[in-house]
Amino acid sequence: MLRFVPGGFTLIAAVVCALATAGMVVAVFSPIRTIPASADWERGEA
């Protein structure tokens, strides 16, 4: 069913690459953003 048209394949590759890049960015930045947030939550509760 899937026909690998050059344009379609390029589009799929671009989407996969974008998702992988976004995943790496989230993986790098989520700990940085989560740690101060959890510290603020602990301060707020205490």
* Nearest to 11, CA basis, from 26, 1, 23, 3: 3
Q: Give domain limits for the chain.
A: 8-42
Give the pLDDT confidence score for residue 38 in this predicted structure: 63
Per-residue pLDDT of the chain (46 residues; tens, 9 = 90+): 456 667 777 888 889 999 999 988 888 887 776 666 666 666 666 5
> Distance between CA 15 and CA 31 in Å, rounded?
25
3-state secondary structure the chain: CCCCCHHHHHHHHHHHHHHHHHHHHHHHHHHHHHHHHHHHHHHHHC
